[in-house]
Structure 1
Amino acid sequence: MRPATAFKSWAHRVLPRPVVNGVWNLASDVKDLPARLKSPGAPRPWRIWHNVGGGDFHLIGQQYFDWFRISTNLKPDAHVLDMGCGAGRLAFPLATYLDVNGVYTGFDLSERALGFARRHTRGEARFNFVRADVQSREYGGAGLKAVGYQFPAEAESIDAALAISLFSHLLPEDAAAYLREAGRVLKPGGRLCLTGFLIEPGMVLTDAVLPLSPYREGAWVADPREPERAIGYERAVFERWLREAGLRMAAPVEAGHWSDTVRRGEFQDRIIVEKPAL
């Protein structure tokens, strides 16, 4: 584990979580200042307000878009669902890719993040950002339990969906429910690209970049006091949820470095699932 990551983990144990996240996000904003000055015309959400995660907002968005486009064989007229869209990191590249018949719907529990996304896709009638009033200890939502949330899409209306760093913060019952909803809204043959942490049989995670330990119902967590901070699932459990949702794995998992002892490439696992064609 890197010294900075180890320090953050220690700080979470002794300080209130909002304080730690606020300081961490402020430091990331300071680190981003050169990129902001270099490209002042590219809108970048301030992490201190939007909690968008680390790395270059637009570069990472483009990288995920490229993976999503290739993995789903995405067409310009596709109807896309962005689960946990945040400030619209994937909406920006999609806005230049989808044509007049393409439709994007993103949902998130942060109205502040959605406001940023709406402001910077203004004039794009094809783009819809929906507030998901659901509970989350990680991101502060205080509405309905996520297990009861219905995605803002009609049955079998979505060609392709994505969920970047969403399932890594969902409790078991919520993760299973979100997969069921994905199964409901995807068209036959439609695909969902998601990132998360899959626990393979025999994994030893004691010295991993992200050390997880058993929690409940096939879930492993970094901190049992704050399970939604980082949560992974045993592969057998995850695949059972897929079957129950009418979904299946569509490609081999691209393993992230979270389970290694050194950092390399992508942090979370990249997972592609599909709703079988009729």
Structure 2
Amino acid sequence: MMEIKFWGVRGSIASPGPETAAVGGNTSCVEVRCGSSRIILDAGTGVRKLGDALLREGPVEATVLLSHLHWDHIQGLPFFVPAYLPSSRLSIVGSAHGVGSLREVLSTQMAAPSFPVRMDELCAQIAVREARPGEAFDVGEVHVRIAKLNHPGGVLAYRVEHEGRSVVYATDTEHYACVDPALRALADGADVLIYDAQYTPEEYRGDGGRSKVGWGHSTYVAGAEIARACGARKLVLFHHDPQRTDAGVAEIERLSRELFPGSVAAREGLCIHVEALARAA
């Protein structure tokens, strides 16, 4: 079975407070359980609580798939307790997109004076490997495919498949005038599409303020369009703007459901049982 759980759903910067408590204020982190395999999509601040939860089950073995290396997607790694334990086995997959190596960039955020513990002092068994667009590989019984999307500095999208079920993680991507052909191909027939919906169309255009065109993020309207085009069962609106209140997220969810009924806004703690979703279709 495949189960998806959301541990961090915000973009750009963590945003705790009473006006964001229902949706959650942690940055990007999604757990995908496929049988005995554990896949972690991004390691924003939400990965801290995920690490604590995994440790309650015993020794941790997991693969972390990083979309890119902006801080809101990696800043939880130094606080991921399993990385400090010799019993843990972690594989970190991603790309530095031509700026040094993946290991070098991850080590930099833990270098003095920014952090007191160096990455090479972590006690877990940690394997770091570079990923390339178009690549496919297996993690146990899980098959992973990668595509490059549209974001300043580069970003990777992942398709995770297990026993005929699939989830596509496409955050920090900006839509084009047409449906992105790379994402459409990656998400074709996916059970769940997790998609960047940081802005409303009005915010993206800059109605009454500064345009967000070129900032590397998208809208629920573009998400509904790609979900229809690829035949996804469920669209999960993700990477909420840090200033978006709980009520604001609920309104985006409502509007998205008018365009694609299978829409839901990501909230911390949301669990999606993909097999049950498929049976209900």
Please tell me the TM-score bracket, short chain as reference.
Answer: 0.3 to 0.5
State the TM-score, normalizing by the size of structure 2: 0.40
More helix by share: 1
* Higher share of residues assigned strand: 2
